[in-house]
Structures are given as structure tokens and as C-alpha cells.
């Protein structure tokens, strides 16, 4: 929905009804909007506006904030009644079509709003204006100083870990109770905190945090929230065991989860985690990438059970009857059914929350309850053979499933979500080099060459640059479907894409991505930065119909644009030198200062911001500088070695002194790096230097030496 359609009714004196929805919010549409009586009331009395919350998150944020502030909660579909000048009058979420269970139905609400507007117009209009005024004041807070107190970053990180630990489910993994959402920022924070504890000699505490994270990742991967047959993860599980999911697949989940499984592999070198990372990325490559390299947004939860059926059912594409599996798998059906807990009566019985309305009676959602090694041993079978059989069974089920009616594909291309996935593909291209050569993969993992993952990341970034970036204004558009959207890029689009571009560069692609990241950061600062009060607004403020400019801090299903921006600024400050580096650090410090109270009191709400604050407080990041010809195998191996160990306080820079354009970039942005490259260039080998606290190690030229150097404990000042 573009600006024109949102503002189109403001010249009338009628109230507006705004429904803020997404592709999956069908129920109210079917029950109410397709009803002739409801349609007549809406058309006679209101100007109706439908908003896609993914297309216009700025509009969604305004009215969701209003509903949450007024009623203490919110959700989608979001239903709000507005004055002609778009101020909110009242709102809610789902309204049933008729009065039921003591609750007013949608028709009753329409009549009451119409009556109230006719009789109390001035009072309602003043109330709506006052609400927006108060929210604007609360949500655009300014920093009281230019930086956080020195002790706060470490305290916030510790507090966040403590708060999450108290909500940890030791039986089934995860933080909190059902329904369980995979909130990757929690995993990121716990891994980061554990690494900090380990580096400071607190290995016992570090181990406890790691155990929580790794067990959670294992439970999610074995649960029904993970699509064992096709790869990738569903949105959330309705029960505490990660079993029965809400079946849609969202791109922002895939990108973030691939990254946290990658981090877990980087930390443990356990191929279980790299397998799940590959599982996600291979699903995206197969099903979610368009002809131009663009990566699509989502797959629906519902689909028809049979070809031609008009009624869709939740999970129809993904669930199985026991008989179907027996017919498809033949002699291996018993082994497979035992492994994935398949039953003739259906298996959605592990929790009272799994299927309270018997929607999945007789159906099975695959979940691994047994350990593969123990099961193979019980059958007197080598583990490798057992896993191969499971893989072949999944392939057979996949082939049959592929003939079913597919869930709807949302082929919208959203810049911010593509940024998240660019990051995971780029990082996987190097981190997975640490997999043992003997590592075996089974379907749906296809054992892709790691270089192909980098190609996916580059193609997605190139698509955005071609179709959603204006080379003259240096501005982004938010999304693409049959052409660029009218909606401009929002803070998250810039921040998430910059993060992805920095990973593209650091993990081995060209310096052009680093140049673009710097350009985008300049534009982001111009459009969104509050230079006086600190922090970034979520919108540019150029559209007068969007009533609030919010400084978002909550790290939820997606990280907040402010958290990601601070990390980007820390990384950029470590890449460039001089006044520009100081500028980035000062903006990062000022941005965090806006959220001081949140970091002090509600750290669990801002886990990635806690990491960002700690990263900024590190006195000296570790720098790895690689010098040599980038087309060589040696360079590829040395770059993989530079990224082999888990360390988010590390910057990797690679320079080919024979590339004049690249050397010009470094002369302009960091002449020290240019000098290092010239002084250490060798025509027949790649040289690595590790620098920290204003000193550099002796140069090393082999991957093992570089890995060992990077595994050394940080100095006491780091």
C-alpha cells in the first residue's frame, strides 16, 4: 500500500476503518469483509483502508503502538478506527462477525463507532490527537548524555543472561513457555555472553550458558517446527515441545536461524549444527530464490489437501498419515515411523496444547524423540547406514509431497529480510570450511559447495542494487514485486542490508560491497539519525500521514534497527580510520545512550542491543589483515582460517596490493591498512597479520598457524 492509498480518504468527514493485515490473516476477511451486510455498513459509513504490515511496517507501528498502549496487548489482524486526519479513535485485533460470548461482534462495533462519531466527534478527535501526542513524546526519547555509563554494558549483558536463564525450559529447551517462538537474538546474546565469560576465565558459567543454547538448538532442530522433509523452519510451535507448529515459513526466521546454527558450529565444531545451517540454506536455494537472485519473503501455512479443493487447511502440505508413509517407504517404514514418532492415530498428542481442537486427528508432524546412535545400535546397524536410510526416506516423502498443492508463495522481496539472508549465506561460505572432510550429509541437505553460498549472497545483493537502489539519491525502496514498491526504505532496510554487505566483504567478496555499505550508512544517517537526541528513527518523517517517528529498541522476532545499526557502526569504525572512525563510534555511543533505562532495567527485551553495547565497550577489536592475490586457493584457505573461530569482536580485512582500485580505497579510508598491504605483499603466498592494542603479530602464511593465533586468549585490555 503506497502513500496515496493510505491518505486517499482524508478529504471526507467520514471516519476510517483500517485493517492492518498480512497474507495469513484470512479469518476476519472471510467472516466479515465478504459478508454483504458488513460490506454495506463499511461502505456507507467508513473509508476502508487495508494495509499489508510487511509492505508498510511504518503504518503498522503507529497503530499497533496505539492499541498496545491503550489495551496492554496487540496482534494481527490489527483493526483501528481513525478520524479523517488519521488519528486513532479506538482499536483492537480480531472482531467476530456477530455478538458472541458476551463480546460485541463487528457489526455492533461498526454501529457504536458510527454513533459515537456522530454524537461526540470533537471529544473523540481530541482524544485521538492527545494519544498520538503522548505516544510521540514517549517513543522519540532523547539521550540525557552522549554515552552510556562505563559499567553499564557488562552489567546489561549479565542482567540479560540472568533474566533469560530464569525463563529457560530445561526439559524442552527455549526461553519461556508455549507457544514457543525461535527468537534468534536470545541465542546470539547467550552465545556471545558465554564466549565473554570463557575468555575471562569463567569457564563454569560459560559452560552453563552454552548448554542452554545448544540444547535449545537441538530441541528445535529435532522438533516439528523444523521441516525435516524439505528443510527450513516454521514460524513457531503451539506447544512447549517444539512439536506442532504454525506452519508458515518466514524469510527473517531462516536468515537468523542459519546464522545462530552457524555460530554454534563455529563454537563447537559439531557437524550437527552445520547440517542444520545447510538444511536452511539449501531450502532457500531450492524454493525461495527468484530468477534474478532475489530471495522471496514467505510461504503460507495453509494449502488445499487435494488438487482443485477450494478449502485450505493449516499444515496440509506438511503432515502425514501413518498409512501414507507405509505405502511410500515400504520396508523402511517401521524404522522411519519409530524414529519420527509416527502413529496410526496421529502423533499430535505429546502436549495438551499440541492439538486442542483435534485439527490434526489421524495426522502426524515429524518429530525426533529418539537418539540416532542409540536407535542404530538397537538395530545392530552402523550409524552411517541408519542415517542414510532416514535420508532416502525423507527424499521419497519429499518427492510425493512435491505433487501436493503447495502453500502460497509470497514472492515479495523485502530489503531488510534479504539483508539477513545475505549475511547467513556469506558467512556459511567460509565458516563451513571447518567441517571435517569425512562429514556426510543426507537429504534434504544436498552437500553444496560452499562457494555456491557466496554466489547466492552476491546475487541477492546485486538484485537489490539493480532494482531497489537509486544511484543518484543513494536511497533504497522497501520492497519489490513486479517492480519496486512505492514505500521508501525504512531503518531496518538500511541497517540489515549494511550488516549483510559487511559480511559479504569480510567473508571474501569484493571491496565494492564495503564501498556500498559506507554509502548506505551515510544515507541512513541523513534520513534517520536524530543528531541532537541520539538514536535512529524508524522512518524518514517525510510522509505526513505517518503520525509517529519511533526509535525502536525491542529485539523481537527481528532485531531492532537500532541494535543492528550500533553493531554496524562499531564494525565500520574498526575498518576505516581517522575522523570517520571517530564519527561512527560517537554515533554508536549516542544511540545507545537513548536506551540506557531499557538496558538497565529490561535487558531481556533488548538482547542484541546488550551485545552491541558490549562490543562498543571493547577497547581494541582484533584485526586480521590478509594480504595477497584473492583468486588463489591459498587466499580462500587463509580467509576460512580467519573465520574458523567464533569471535564477534574481530574484523577481517583482505587486500590485494596488485588491485589499484582497491588500494585507492584503502589509501582514502585507512592508510595504515594500505601500508601494511604494501609492506607484506608476496607474489606467491598470502600473508596474515593479527593486530590488537596497537601492535601486530609476526606475519603467518599458513592456515593452521593463523587459526592457532586467533585461538589465543585475548589480552587483559581487550
**Structural domains in the chain, sorted by start:** 3-139 (3.40.30.10), 303-406 (no CATH), 622-711 (3.40.30)
Helices and strands in the chain: count of H runs, count of E runs:
27, 19
Query: Residue 36 has what pLDDT?
Result: 84
DSSP-derived secondary structure letter, 49: E
Map residue 304 onto helix, strand or coil.
Answer: strand
677 C-beta neighbours (distance < 10 Å), count: 25
CA distances from 713 to 199, 511, 687 (A): 6, 30, 22
Query: Residue 637 has what pLDDT?
Result: 97
Peptide bond into 77 cis (omega under 30): yes
For residue 679, give the nearest of 663, 702, 703, 661 by alpha carbon: 663
pLDDT tens, position by position, 119-145: 888 888 888 788 888 877 766 678 888
Residue 7 has pLDDT above 70, yes or no: no
Query: Residue 441 has what pLDDT?
Result: 93
For residue 283, give the nearest of 229, 246, 217, 230 by alpha carbon: 230
- Taking the C-alpha atoms of residue 716 and residue 718, their distance in angstroms, rounded to an integer, is 6
Which residues sit opposite 46 in a β-bridge? 15
Map residue 98 onto helix, strand or coil.
Answer: coil
Residue 520 has pLDDT above 50, yes or no: yes
Q: What is the mean pLDDT of residues 41-50?
A: 87
Give the pLDDT band of residue 438 (cuts 50, 70, 90): confident
Residue 630 has pLDDT above 70, yes or no: yes
Query: Residue 75 has what pLDDT?
Result: 75
Residue 500 has pLDDT above 90, yes or no: yes
- Taking the C-alpha atoms of residue 106 and residue 239, their distance in angstroms, rounded to an integer, is 30
Phi, psi of 514 (to 5 degrees): -65, -40
Query: Residue 38 has what pLDDT?
Result: 84
Phi, psi of 466 (to 5 degrees): -70, -40
Sheet with 46-52: strands ordered across: 46-52, 15-21, 78-82, 88-92
Contacts within 8 Å (CB) and 24+ apart, 680-687 = 680/627, 681/627, 681/628, 681/657, 682/627, 682/628, 683/629, 685/628, 685/634, 686/626, 686/627, 686/628, 686/629, 686/632, 686/634, 686/635, 686/638, 687/626, 687/627, 687/628
Most confident of 44-58, 251-265, 295-309, 545-559: 251-265
- Taking the C-alpha atoms of residue 270 and residue 280, their distance in angstroms, rounded to an integer, is 17
Residue 1 has pLDDT above 60, yes or no: no
Cα three-residue angle 362-364-370, rounded to 5 degrees: 135
Strands (E), 594-657: 622-627, 650-655
Residue 545 has pLDDT above 90, yes or no: no
**Average model confidence (pLDDT) across the chain:** 92
CB-based contacts of 293, cutoff 8 Å, min separation 6: 456, 458, 459, 460, 462, 463
Give the pLDDT band of residue 3 (cuts 50, 70, 90): very low
Query: Residue 16 has what pLDDT?
Result: 87
Give the pLDDT band of residue 388 (cuts 50, 70, 90): very high
Contact (Cβ atoms closer than 8 angstroms) between residue 132 and residue 576 = no
Please tell me which residue, 60 or 656, carries the higher pLDDT value. 656
Residue 5 has pLDDT above 50, yes or no: no
Query: Residue 26 has what pLDDT?
Result: 65
Of the chain, the percentage scoring pLDDT greater than 70 comes to 95
pLDDT tens, position by position, 293-342: 999 999 999 999 999 898 999 999 999 999 999 999 999 999 999 999 99
Helix (H) or strand (E) holding 80: strand 78-82
Residue 101 has pLDDT above 70, yes or no: no
Query: Residue 9 has what pLDDT?
Result: 45
Residue 23 has pLDDT above 60, yes or no: no
Residue 4 has pLDDT above 80, yes or no: no
Give the pLDDT band of residue 29 (cuts 50, 70, 90): confident
For residue 560, give the nearest of 626, 655, 490 by alpha carbon: 490
For residue 232, give the nearest of 307, 318, 316, 172 by alpha carbon: 318
Of the chain, the percentage scoring pLDDT greater than 90 comes to 75
Pairing of strands 302-304, 312-314: antiparallel
For the entire predicted model, the pTM comes to 0.93
Query: Residue 124 has what pLDDT?
Result: 84
Give the pLDDT band of residue 278 (cuts 50, 70, 90): very high
- Taking the C-alpha atoms of residue 385 and residue 2, their distance in angstroms, rounded to an integer, is 55
Query: Residue 145 has what pLDDT?
Result: 87
pLDDT tens, position by position, 605-617: 999 999 999 999 9
CB-based contacts of 142, cutoff 8 Å, min separation 6: 530, 532, 533, 534, 594
Give the pLDDT band of residue 24 (cuts 50, 70, 90): very low
Which residue in this structure is represented by grid cell 581487550? 718
State the helix-helix crossing angle for 203-222 and 152-166, rounded to 10 degrees. Answer: 50
Amino acid at each position: 500500500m503506497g502513500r496515496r492509498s493510505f491518505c486517499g480518504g482524508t478529504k471526507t468527514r467520514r471516519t476510517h476503518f483500517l485493517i492492518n493485515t498480512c497474507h495469513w490473516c484470512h479469518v476476519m476477511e472471510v467472516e466479515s469483509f465478504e459478508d454483504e451486510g458488513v460490506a454495506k455498513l463499511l461502505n456507507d459509513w467508513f473509508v476502508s483502508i487495508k494495509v499489508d504490515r510487511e509492505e508498510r511496517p511504518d503504518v503498522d507501528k503507529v497503530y499497533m503502538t496505539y492499541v498496545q498502549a491503550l489495551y496492554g496487548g496487540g496482534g494481527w489482524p490489527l483493526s483501528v478506527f481513525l478520524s479523517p486526519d488519521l488519528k486513532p479513535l479506538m482499536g483492537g485485533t480480531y472482531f467476530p462477525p456477530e455478538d458472541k460470548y458476551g463480546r460485541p461482534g463487528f457489526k455492533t462495533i461498526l454501529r457504536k463507532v458510527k454513533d459515537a462519531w456522530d454524537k461526540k466527534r470533537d471529544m473523540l478527535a481530541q482524544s485521538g490527537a492527545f494519544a498520538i501526542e503522548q505516544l510521540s513524546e514517549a517513543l522519540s526519547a532523547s539521550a540525557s548524555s552522549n554515552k552510556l555509563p562505563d559499567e553499564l554494558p557488562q552489567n546489561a549483558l549479565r542482567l540479560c543472561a540472568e533474566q533469560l536463564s530464569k525463563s529457560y525450559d530445561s526439559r524442552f529447551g527455549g526461553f519461556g513457555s508455549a507457544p514457543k517462538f525461535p527468537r534468534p537474538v536470545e541465542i546470539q546474546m547467550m552465545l556471545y555472553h558465554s564466549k565473554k565469560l570463557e575468555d575471562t576465565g569463567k569457564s563454569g558459567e560459560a559452560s552453563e550458558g552454552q548448554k542452554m543454547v545448544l540444547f535449545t538448538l537441538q530441541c528445535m532442530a529435532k522438533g516439528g517446527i523444523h521441516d525435516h522433509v524439505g528443510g527450513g523452519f516454521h514460524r513457531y510451535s503451539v506447544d512447549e515441545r517444539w512439536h506442532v507448529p504454525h506452519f508458515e515459513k518466514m524469510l527473517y526466521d531462516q536468515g537468523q536461524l542459519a546464522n545462530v546454527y552457524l555460530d554454534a558450529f563455529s563454537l563447537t565444531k559439531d557437524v550437527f549444527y552445520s547440517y542444520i545451517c545447510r538444511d536452511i540454506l539449501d531450502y532457500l536455494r531450492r524454493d525461495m530464490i527468484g530468477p534474478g537472485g532475489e530471495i522471496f519473503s514467505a510461504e503460507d501455512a495453509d494449502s488445499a489437501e487435494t488438487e482443485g479443493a477450494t478449502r485450505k487447511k493449516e499444515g496440509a502440505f506438511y503432515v502425514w498419515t501413518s498409512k501414507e508413509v507405509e505405502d511410500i517407504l515400504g520396508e523402511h517404514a517401521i524404522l522411519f515411523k519409530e524414529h519420527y514418532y509416527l502413529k496410526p492415530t496421529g502423533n499430535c498428542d505429546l502436549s495438551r496444547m499440541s492439538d486442542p481442537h483435534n485439527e490434526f486427528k489421524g495426522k502426524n508432524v515429524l518429530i525426533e524423540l529418539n537418539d540416532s546412535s542409540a536407535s542404530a545400535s538397537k538395530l545392530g546397524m552402523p550409524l552411517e547406514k541408519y542415517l542414510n536410510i532416514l535420508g532416502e526416506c525423507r527424499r521419497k516423502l519429499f518427492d510425493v509431497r512435491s505433487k501436493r498443492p503447495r502453500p502460497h508463495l509470497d514472492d515479495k522481496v523485502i530489503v531488510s529480510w534479504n539483508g539477513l539472508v545475505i549475511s547467513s549465506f556469506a558467512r556459511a561460505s567460509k565458516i563451513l570450511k571447518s567441517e571435517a572432510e569425512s562429514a556426510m550429509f543426507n537429504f534434504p541437505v544436498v552437500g553444496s559447495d560452499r562457494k555456491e553460498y557466496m554466489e547466492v549472497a552476491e546475487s541477492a545483493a546485486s538484485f537489490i542494487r539493480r532494482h531497489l537502489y537509486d544511484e543518484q539519491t543513494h536511497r533504497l525502496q522497501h520492497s519489490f514485486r513486479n517492480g519496486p514498491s512505492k514505500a521508501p526504505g525504512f531503518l531496518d532496510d538500511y541497517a540489515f542490508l549494511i550488516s549483510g554487505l559487511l559480511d559479504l566483504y569480510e567473508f571474501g567478496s569484493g571491496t565494492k560491497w564495503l564501498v556500498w555499505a559506507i554509502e548506505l550508512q551515510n544515507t541512513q544517517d541523513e534520513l534517520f539519525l536524530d543528531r541532537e537526541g541520539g538514536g535512529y528513527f524508524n522512518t524518514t518523517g517525510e510522509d505526513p500521514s505517518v503520525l509517529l517517528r519511533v526509535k525502536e529498541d525491542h529485539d523481537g522476532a527481528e532485531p531492532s534497527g537500532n541494535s543492528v545499526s550500533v553493531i554496524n557502526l562499531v564494525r565500520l569504525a574498526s575498518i576505516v580510520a581517522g575522523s570517520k572512525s571517530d564519527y561512527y563510534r560517537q554515533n554508536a555511543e549516542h544511540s545507545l545512550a537513548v536506551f540506557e533505562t531499557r538496558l538497565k532495567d529490561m535487558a531481556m527485551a533488548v538482547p542484541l542491543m546488550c551485545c552491541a553495547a558490549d562490543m562498543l565497550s571493547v577497547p581494541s577489536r582484533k584485526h586480521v589483515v590478509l594480504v595477497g592475490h584473492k583468486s588463489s586457493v591459498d587466499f580462500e584457505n587463509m580467509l576460512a582460517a580467519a573465520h574458523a573461530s567464533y569471535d564477534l569482536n574481530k574484523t577481517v580485512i583482505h587486500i590485494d596490493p596488485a588491485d589499484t582500485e582497491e588500494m585507492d580505497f584503502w589509501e582514502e579510508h585507512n592508510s595504515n591498512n594500505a601500508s601494511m598491504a604494501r609492506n607484506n605483499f608476496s607474489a606467491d603466498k598470502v600473508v596474515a597479520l593479527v593486530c590488537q592494542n596497537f601492535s601486530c603479530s609476526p606475519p603467518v602464511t599458513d592456515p593452521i598457524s593463523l587459526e592457532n593465533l586467533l585461538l589465543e586468549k585475548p589480552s587483559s585490555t581487550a
